[in-house]
Structure 1
Amino acid sequence: MPLRLDVKRKLSVRSDRVKCVDIHPNEPWILATLFNGHVHIYNYETQQLIKTFEVCDVPVRAGKFVVRKNWAITASDDMFVRIYNYNTLERLHQFEAHNDYIRSIIIHPTQSYILTSSDDMTIKLWDWDAKWALKQTFEGHIHYVMQIAINPKDNNTFASASLDRTVKIWQLGSNQANFTLEGHDKGVNCVDYYSGGDKPYLVSGADDRRVKIWDYQNKTCVQTLEGHSQNIACVAFHPELPIILSGSEDGTVKLWHSNTYRLESTLNYGLERCWTIACLKGSNNVALGYDEGTMMIKLGREEPAMSMDASTGKIVWAKHCEIQQVNLKQLSSDQQLRDGEKVPLNIKDLGSCEIYPQTLSHSPNGRFVVVCGDGEYIIYTAITLRNKSYGNAMEFVWSEDSSEYAVRDGNMIKVFKNFKEKKTFKPDAGAEGIFGGNLLGVRSYSGLTFYDWETLSLIRRIEILPKLIYWSQNSELVCIATEESYYILRYNPQTVAAASTNKDLKSEDGIEDAFNALSEISEIVKTGVWVGDCFIYTNSLNRINYYVGGEIVTISHLDRVMYLLGYVSNENRLYFGDKDMSIVSFELSLSVLEYQTAVMRKDFETADQVLPTISKEQRTRVAHFLEKQGYRQQALAVTLDDEHKFDLALQLGNLQVCYEIAIKLENDQKWLQLSDVATKQGEFSLVEECLTHAQAFGSLILLASASSNKQLMSNIGEQSRKIGQFNIAFLSNFVLGKLDQCLDILIENQRLPEAAFFARTYLPSQINHVVGLWREKLKQMNMERAAHALANPTDYENLFPGLIDTYKTEEFLKQNTKVQSARNYQTLPPNWESNPITEMKQAEDHGQFSYISKQLNKEITNDNDDDDDDDDDEIFDDTTTNSLIGNKLITSVNADQSCSRSPTNSSAVSFHKPTTISSIIRDLSVKSTASSIISTATTVGSASQASLSDFDKELQEFDFDLGKDDIDDTENDPLVSKQLFKQTVDENEDLRFDDDNVDEFLHKT
């Protein structure tokens, strides 16, 4: 019977004539060398051209990947071999290898050698580790050497095909051929070795349109294959399938059975002549090169013919036609299996199979093994591999009962019981596939149909095209896997039994309530198995997952494609196999699966009995499952993970558990989460503690304000300042009215401009200090001009009208302002309705407020005293400097003339050059001695009566000194100084006194 292999096209790209193709063993890449001198690298998964480079302007007839060096080696008609890094496309080396066109390159699998063959009738061996030195030349052919191939079973021997109609076998180290195979009538174009260990064969193709299979040990031709109508350009033994491929100039690729030598299939993709074929060990992919492009096809299925009986721990697989078995129970008890590591096994040969196995599966009870392939099936006994039954079949499936099975032969389905045919039927919509299990499933072009095994009556039609179907052990659940997702359904046998007696429950689509859909998961299932109510599977991303109760749990990640064989409950391990028949295992606790199954069935009594058997490492996984099912309280009691326990307690509103875990974890995020829940429950003391632990001072400000907690607000200011959260510290101090602290924070952060404006607005007594700091900072930044441009309000009171009122208002507010509770917000007038300066004046007029002037530093650099107190806290005495007195006198006049009392309103004041104004003010101070004394006496005397002797003493102690800078300024520009002085004096005529006026005034006093 034929193999009936499915052939799928994976890549089809058009290009110039392709002379050679190669497949990368690790990446999804195809290397194609072209007749136009270019090389292309395609990704056959994405269908994209990912790399291309120009080698020369003549045909490139050969190209190979060297994966261990990241190289692509090419040979072309200019007689050069070139080596490229296929990642960077950099040409690493080139050398002239032959005297004529180079036809073929082969890479030694273990040594640093390459072999090249040429139209100069020679074969040469090159060593890249010896700087591409020529190690050996093989001569003996009398015509072009078209292709060479290394024997995979003996890397020291290779074969060559020549147009002299011969195939020669060579050995490294010998210049003469071992022997010559003759039989072709015309030139031989291609040759390849059989990679299996059971046959010493090689295949050749020639211009006589024949393919010959040779036994190189007996040196005889085993078989000649005929069928092509033109020259044969390429041949290959497939490394995984019993297939011989031949490509011809007639545009076809023929697939021949390597055991029966029957023609299985002929492929013609309309790309003209086929020149090259490449296969890859461990893969079913085949690359083809044509006149008009490159093709990649996939033959058959890559899943190995392998099966496991979970009850006995025996694994059976087919390697080509050989059946082998391993027994997991023979593993030594002291041998520890690790997840993902290869399991050391003793392989036992059971014998050979008469057909090529494409699928292999155990019966449900493990007594029989069925092999299906070549359009036939054979049932063997599992222990001795004795033939029990056979027949024609494209597919074979077991029922839940091991004595019952079904086969599909075309569109016909045959059901057998006890190895005897029971019934045959043909579905109305045809049959494209069948599935075993509790019900017989048939896939057609329109969907899936379930039939009863006994009566073959219709159970249900479902509009879905399944790829795989898995039934649970109790037949209550079924997984239907498609090309894009899988569905979990619950089977209702009671409804089906009721429908057998009540015809009204049936329709043309079967019994509507036979299945209930539970879940649809957008994952591609590769292989799977049920354990209880848990469905374990591998997906397209090579992950091991299991589904239970709507939850997907990832067990592990695989580093390559693996196929799930089964689960051994006694060992709590899952077993997997790959295409190389390597077995690996992963641990999965049975007690966890049993617990989850009991919960899904709402059998909590059984679940409580199973729970103590679950290890501590698995408790958190179980808790996550319980949470997913809605059992949060039980999950809280089961979990051992503090993070998970905190989340559960938070959802349940259990503040005590949350608090204990938060103290243990010391995680700011946990404190914030707990504060949110505590706020909803009104536990504000807990909220305060949580926010304090989390240092969430922004939220604490809101809490302190809302709860009128002055002490908390003060603490916030102190703590936030310590950890550098100055915005919070500023705000909390500002709310409490601690303006000095606010100013200190601005100065501490070098926010001197903001500090100056803050002082001007709220703390006028600190203006000198801040402006001095600002000036010094600008000078340090080499901004002398900007520093001199700053006007200190105390030095230039004429530029700042109402400055004295702001001093008074500052003191007034300190005496009369107190911190108000947030609950009084509704009863207090808004700030924009009050005028502090007006209120101060009213209080002063009514005798409710008296102002004692304080000495202000002109600049921070003038603070030369040795006391610890700031100068801005010192009281003015009778020896107040004349410069300051002059400033006050001018300011008082300007304040009276100003149309506004606002400290910031200076629009009516003209700005004068600082040095000139300073000179004028000092000049004015000299000429206004009496007035200055009277002003000072009046200010100080508001609190105590000043005596005449005090004024006499003041007159005697006054010492007027005109600064040198002022004299220099006046001398440099006397006209300007005179004009400005005259203007200032004219504006303040009421301040002019002479000595006679003073004497008269004092005498009267």
Structure 2
Amino acid sequence: MPLRLDVRKKLSSRSDRVKAIDLHSSEPWICASLYNGNIHVWNIETQQLIKTFEVCAAPVRAVRFVPRKNWLVTGSDDMMLRVYNYNTLERVHQFEAHSDYIRSIAVHPTQPFILTSSDDMFIRLWDWEKNWACAQVFEGHTHYVMQLVINPKDNNTFATGSLDKTVKVWSLGSPQANFTLEGHERGVNCVDYHPSADKPYLASGSDDRTVRVWDYQTKLCVQILEGHSQNVSSLAFHPDLPIILTGSEDGTVRMWHSNTYRLESTLNYGLERVWAVTCHKGSQQVGIGYDEGTIVISLGREDPAMSMDSSGKLVCARHAELVQANIRSDGARLPIAYKEMGACEIYPQTLSHSANGRFVVVCGDGEYIVYTAMALRNRMFGQALEFVWSQADTNMYAIFKNFKVHKSIKLDFGADQIFGGHLLGVRSVAGFTFYDWQTGELVRRIDVMPKAVYWADGGQLVAICTKDCFYILRYLPEAIAQAEVTERGPDGFEAAFEVVHEEVKESVKTGCWFGDAFLFTNTANRLLYFVGGELVTVAHLDRPMYLLGYLASENRVFLSDRDLNVVGFTLLLSVLEYETAVLRGDFTVADSILPSIPSSHRTKIAHFLERQGFRQQAMRVTTDPDHKFDLALQLNDLTTAHDLIKDDEDVDSNESKWRQLADLAVKECDFKLAQECFSKTRDYASFLLIATSAGDMEQLEELSKLTAKEEIDNLAFLSLFLLDNLEGCLQLLVKAQRYPEAAIFARTYLPSKVPEMVELWRTWLAEDPKLTKVAEALANPQQYPNLFPGWEASLRTEKWLQADRERHRHLPASAYPSQPALWDRRPAEEMQKSPMPAAPAVHMEHKPAFQFPTSAQPEDVQLQPPSGLVSFSQPLVAPSPTSPVKTHQEQPTRDPIADLLSLSALASEPSSTATTEVPAKMFEASPVAAHPMYNETTFDPFELTAGLPATSVAEPPLPPASLKPQTPPTFGSDLFDFNASPATEVANKPPPLHFEQHPQQAERSPEAQRQQKTTEEEDDEDFGLELERQLASLSVAPSGTATHPGATSKPAVGDLDWGDEDEFEDPEEA
């Protein structure tokens, strides 16, 4: 019977003529040297050309990988040996190695040596550690040396084939050949050693179209392989399979059995002549070089020949050797000691234990042998391609031979593959058919083409695996028993199987059952099991692994790789039973099984419950705090989630959890918890949003402290500002050395702090010599009040607004709808309607304060005007206490002559050299003292004279009648100058005498007064002339006017619109 080999094409590439090829030992690469002088490197898995080397213009006849140096060594017809780094593509070294074409290269497996053969009939040994020095020359052939190969069993010997019709065997260190093998009729093109240690064989291919197998110990020809119709150009022993591969110029590759020397198969891919064949140990891949390209094929089965019975006894095949081991850390390679059982008469391709583990069958080479599992005694043998056991009866088996099955089962179509189990499965071109083991009758035909069939131990569940998916069916033997014979159709009993799960999209490589779960490995190197419609990953494998089986007594599943390395993973049967009960919805049974599951597996159970939608049960089962936290968030259980992370001091590692909890807390309107989460994660922006939305002043204050401590100044400033803590805002700006912003902020909100901020600003600028002039240009309102219109009014407004803020600070939320919007407020009007205590003005020396008459003051305001301050109001005659105060429209027109008479009377009083004091009695008796508008518009001369004492007080003349009342200006800022006097407009004028203005005139802005002055200049000049004429008639001397010590005397003019300060240039003219 022929050896059953699966041949699969892995790569097919077209190129120029390929002269040599080599497979990489660790990467999925194949390199091909071409007749055009190039080297191509292909990725076999992706079928992509990944590297190209342009070596020379001559043919490259030899190429080899040197994986331990990341090199690619080439030999070409230009007699040069070149070395390339295949990662960087740089040329490492090149030199002339021979005097003729280089035909072959061999790399020593352990030493830094490279052997080359050439048409110059020499073999040379090169040492790359000695700068590629030629360490030895081997001489003896009389014609071209076509190929050389190192003995894998003895690295100190190598063989060469030459066109002188001989094969020579050499030893390193001896320039002469050990011996010569003669027998070919024409030149020898290729040689190779048998990989098995017990077979000292050497094969050679010749132009005589034959392959000879030599025993190099006896130096005899063991076998001659004939079949090629043209020259044999290349050959190779497969390192793992009992195969000899030969390539010929007839375009075919023939596979010969290395034990029986029988021709097993012939391959022809239609790419003309074959020039090179190569294979590598540990790989099933074979590379073939043709005239028109490169082919890579895979031979044999991928899974190793291994079998394990239910007790853990393992039987493996190492080539033709059978070994045994007993299996007893998850994922780790088990230190298994294999015991040799003996040699097998055939090459094992498959191994299989019987259901009870007493027998093991070996199938291969078209034959089968049944051995006892313990002693390896031969119980039965025969010819077969496949052998399967019955799970129901250990004495039943089926033999697939010559497209028919022995016993009484006859097939309508040729069988492709058979499968054992509770029923015998046969795959053919007609589909897949189940037969009864006892009767051989048809049970059910299914329209599917499986590659594997796995039965559960109970015989009720079966997994039918195809190339891309698998199906889970339930076998119902009772339905067959109840059915009548007449109900069997051409496809068997329709009720024999029930589809449990249809078309699960997973590609099964190997599989087995444990309980009601189907355990398998897939093509992505993962170990999974399928239960109740759910796929559960057991482990990710680092290499292709194959299932050996599941031991229920050990609760472990075992796998093996191609090198017979066995690994095991724990898989509890109790976990499977719990999951099965959950899928049935039987939580009573599930709860009873749960105590038997170790705590280390509880988290896996919890993840399973979560996938099934049972989050409450999952949170109760899980032992992983992170998983429990995630479940608590899914269940909106804020308390549990908070309890899981509140005691962890490492906030940084749990920052994402605090953020998740904060989002859920906001969603659930638990703002207190949300604020705690935001503070933990330092998400102060969200903290501010919550605090402002809730109107929580305490949280705002806490936020201001936290952000100030961590120097997050923008949020700290905003928090303080929302708290009306203007002083704190100012201190924050000063701390950050933002002195310009501090000064402007103070001018807007805290005018009393402006002088201090200006000085800090000036000092800060003065530190830079380049900014000295800028610092000197800053004006302090205390030194230059004339540059700050409404300065005094802003100071008073600051205090009024401060009291107003305190009054509105603790208003209830119910009062919010009745409060005017900030942009609709008019602080000027509000301050007049609800005046607050103002700061006392500057008093003249030795004058006691006085009180307004009770009837002339508001009931809730007690004003104490400064002594010595004279204020003139209209009318000059005080109304009686009982008479009502007239409004502006009702008051009579002022008489300038009467005003001047009063002024003259005051000026005629005796005075000291320094100051002129007004007797208190005289002031109290004056009409001004009783005027009700005194507390609305007062003027302090010291506000403009920066502390200069007044020497006298005089009454100015009244303004002209043309001065019409103006509409008060609109409120433009929070600190509008409500009571600013027009006198503050001019800084270089001496302080004029105070008089009471018209109510509407008092409210005019300085800009409005300046505009009106331009339109009324003529009226002012006429009024000035009239004033001088009346003063002359009343004999009022200029010396009676108010003057300051050392100051140039000015006319006694009270209104800034009258007179010209520059009219008199010296005191004499005055």
Does TM-score exceed 0.5, indicating one fold? yes
Instruction: Tell me, yes or no, if structure 1 residue 350 matches structure 2 residue 342.
Output: yes
CA contact (8 A) 2:945 2:991 kept: no
**Structure possessing the higher radius of gyration over alpha carbons:** 2
* Distance of aligned partners of 1:370 and 1:787 in 2 relative to their CA distance in 1, 3 Å threshold: farther
Q: Which moved more, 1:735-744 or 1:189-198?
A: 735-744
CA contact (8 A) 1:432 1:443 kept: yes
CA contact (8 A) 2:528 2:539 kept: yes
Which of 799, 811, 815 is the matching residue for 2:803?
Answer: 815
Which of 428, 437, 443 is the matching residue for 2:421?
Answer: 437
Which of 352, 362, 366 is the matching residue for 2:353?
Answer: 362
Give the secondary structure class of the aligned counterpart of 1:318. Answer: strand
CA contact (8 A) 1:323 1:350 kept: yes
**Equivalent in the alignment of 2:224:** 224
**Equivalent in the alignment of 1:185:** 185
d(CA) in 2 for partners of 1:847, 1:404: 113
What is the deviation of 1:165?
A: 0.2
What's the CA shift string for 1:389-443, capped at 9, x where partnerless? 44544333333323333444465455xxxxxx2423235xx64433333444444
Instruction: Tell me, yes or no, if structure 1 residue 472 matches structure 2 residue 456.
Output: yes
Q: After superposition, where does 1:676-695 map in structure 2 within 5 Å? A: 685-695=672-682
Amino acid at match of 1:583: V
**Equivalent in the alignment of 2:318:** 319
Q: Which moved more, 1:800-809 or 1:513-522?
A: 800-809
* Distance of aligned partners of 1:763 and 1:466 in 2 relative to their CA distance in 1, 3 Å threshold: farther
* Distance of aligned partners of 1:841 and 1:51 in 2 relative to their CA distance in 1, 3 Å threshold: same
Amino acid at match of 1:327: N
Amino acid at match of 2:325: V
**Equivalent in the alignment of 2:284:** 284
Q: After superposition, where does 1:187-336 map in structure 2 within 5 Å? A: 187-311=187-311, 313-328=312-327
CA contact (8 A) 1:482 1:524 kept: yes
d(CA) in 2 for partners of 1:721, 1:95: 74
What's the CA shift string for 1:752-772, capped at 9, x where partnerless? 776677666655666666677
d(CA) in 1 for partners of 2:309, 2:680: 58
d(CA) in 1 for partners of 2:482, 2:786: 106
d(CA) in 2 for partners of 1:494, 1:992: 128
Instruction: Tell me, yes or no, if structure 1 residue 709 matches structure 2 residue 719.
Output: no
Q: After superposition, where does 1:826-865 map in structure 2 within 5 Å? A: 827-828=817-818, 831=821, 834-836=823-825, 839-846=826-833, 848-849=835-836, 852=839
Give the secondary structure class of the aligned counterpart of 1:620. Answer: helix
Give the secondary structure class of the aligned counterpart of 2:256. Answer: strand
Give the secondary structure class of the aligned counterpart of 2:51. Answer: strand
* Distance of aligned partners of 1:502 and 1:631 in 2 relative to their CA distance in 1, 3 Å threshold: farther
CA contact (8 A) 2:434 2:445 kept: yes
Give the secondary structure class of the aligned counterpart of 1:202. Answer: strand
What is the deviation of 1:792?
A: 7.1
d(CA) in 1 for partners of 2:815, 2:401: 90
CA contact (8 A) 2:103 2:119 kept: yes
Amino acid at match of 2:972: S
What is the deviation of 1:618?
A: 2.7
* Distance of aligned partners of 1:708 and 1:844 in 2 relative to their CA distance in 1, 3 Å threshold: closer
**Equivalent in the alignment of 1:536:** 519
Give the secondary structure class of the aligned counterpart of 1:161. Answer: strand
Which of 421, 426, 442 is the matching residue for 2:412?
Answer: 426
Instruction: Tell me, yes or no, if structure 1 residue 930 matches structure 2 residue 991.
Output: yes
d(CA) in 2 for partners of 1:739, 1:608: 64
What is the deviation of 1:845?
A: 3.3
Give the secondary structure class of the aligned counterpart of 2:355. Answer: coil
Amino acid at match of 1:426: D
Which of 378, 385, 390 is the matching residue for 2:376?
Answer: 385
Which of 707, 710, 726 is the matching residue for 1:720?
Answer: 707
Tell me, which stretches of 5 or more residues in structure 1 are unaligned?
330-336, 415-420, 856-875, 886-892, 907-920, 943-951, 961-984, 1000-1005
What's the CA shift string for 1:3-53, capped at 9, x where partnerless? 232221111111121111000010011111111221111111111111111
CA contact (8 A) 2:247 2:274 kept: yes
Instruction: Tell me, yes or no, if structure 1 residue 629 matches structure 2 residue 612.
Output: yes
Instruction: Tell me, yes or no, if structure 1 residue 105 matches structure 2 residue 105.
Output: yes
**Equivalent in the alignment of 1:738:** 725
What is the TM-score with the length of structure 1 in the denominator?
A: 0.79
d(CA) in 2 for partners of 1:739, 1:768: 16
What is the deviation of 1:372?
A: 2.4
What is the deviation of 1:790?
A: 9.5
Amino acid at match of 1:100: D
What is the deviation of 1:224?
A: 1.0
d(CA) in 1 for partners of 2:520, 2:769: 73
d(CA) in 1 for partners of 2:794, 2:968: 14
Amino acid at match of 1:351: A
Give the secondary structure class of the aligned counterpart of 1:623. Answer: helix
Amino acid at match of 2:474: Y
Q: Which moved more, 1:43-52 or 1:396-405?
A: 396-405
**Equivalent in the alignment of 2:129:** 129
What is the deviation of 1:736?
A: 2.7
d(CA) in 2 for partners of 1:446, 1:723: 79
CA contact (8 A) 1:776 1:787 kept: no
d(CA) in 2 for partners of 1:854, 1:189: 124
**Equivalent in the alignment of 2:972:** 902
Instruction: Tell me, yes or no, if structure 1 residue 35 matches structure 2 residue 35.
Output: yes
CA contact (8 A) 1:882 1:922 kept: no
Number of residues of Structure 1 aligned to a counterpart in Structure 2: 896
CA contact (8 A) 2:748 2:975 kept: no
* Distance of aligned partners of 1:306 and 1:932 in 2 relative to their CA distance in 1, 3 Å threshold: farther
What is the deviation of 1:289?
A: 1.1
d(CA) in 1 for partners of 2:322, 2:841: 108
* Distance of aligned partners of 1:604 and 1:96 in 2 relative to their CA distance in 1, 3 Å threshold: same
d(CA) in 1 for partners of 2:523, 2:115: 39
Give the secondary structure class of the aligned counterpart of 2:563. Answer: coil
| Superposition CA RMSD, Å | 4.4
d(CA) in 1 for partners of 2:429, 2:14: 33
What is the TM-score with the length of structure 2 in the denominator?
A: 0.75
d(CA) in 1 for partners of 2:594, 2:380: 47
- Which structure has more helix as a fraction of its residues? 1
d(CA) in 2 for partners of 1:259, 1:470: 34
Amino acid at match of 2:56: C
CA contact (8 A) 1:753 1:774 kept: yes
* Distance of aligned partners of 1:764 and 1:346 in 2 relative to their CA distance in 1, 3 Å threshold: same
CA contact (8 A) 1:411 1:426 kept: no
d(CA) in 2 for partners of 1:803, 1:762: 13
CA contact (8 A) 2:733 2:741 kept: yes
d(CA) in 2 for partners of 1:709, 1:548: 55
Give the secondary structure class of the aligned counterpart of 1:26. Answer: coil
Give the secondary structure class of the aligned counterpart of 1:930. Answer: coil
d(CA) in 1 for partners of 2:663, 2:496: 47
d(CA) in 2 for partners of 1:85, 1:174: 32
Give the secondary structure class of the aligned counterpart of 2:703. Answer: helix
Q: After superposition, where does 1:156-167 map in structure 2 within 5 Å? A: 156-167=156-167
CA contact (8 A) 1:459 1:496 kept: no
d(CA) in 2 for partners of 1:50, 1:173: 39
**Equivalent in the alignment of 1:966:** none
Give the secondary structure class of the aligned counterpart of 1:665. Answer: coil
Instruction: Tell me, yes or no, if structure 1 residue 155 matches structure 2 residue 152.
Output: no
d(CA) in 1 for partners of 2:488, 2:975: 94
CA contact (8 A) 2:327 2:336 kept: no
d(CA) in 1 for partners of 2:192, 2:228: 18
CA contact (8 A) 1:808 1:840 kept: no
* Distance of aligned partners of 1:387 and 1:660 in 2 relative to their CA distance in 1, 3 Å threshold: same
d(CA) in 2 for partners of 1:118, 1:676: 78
What is the deviation of 1:277?
A: 1.0
What's the CA shift string for 1:293-343, capped at 9, x where partnerless? 1111111222111111132x21112223332222336xxxxxxx5742342
Which of 561, 564, 577 is the matching residue for 1:581?
Answer: 564
CA contact (8 A) 1:707 1:822 kept: no
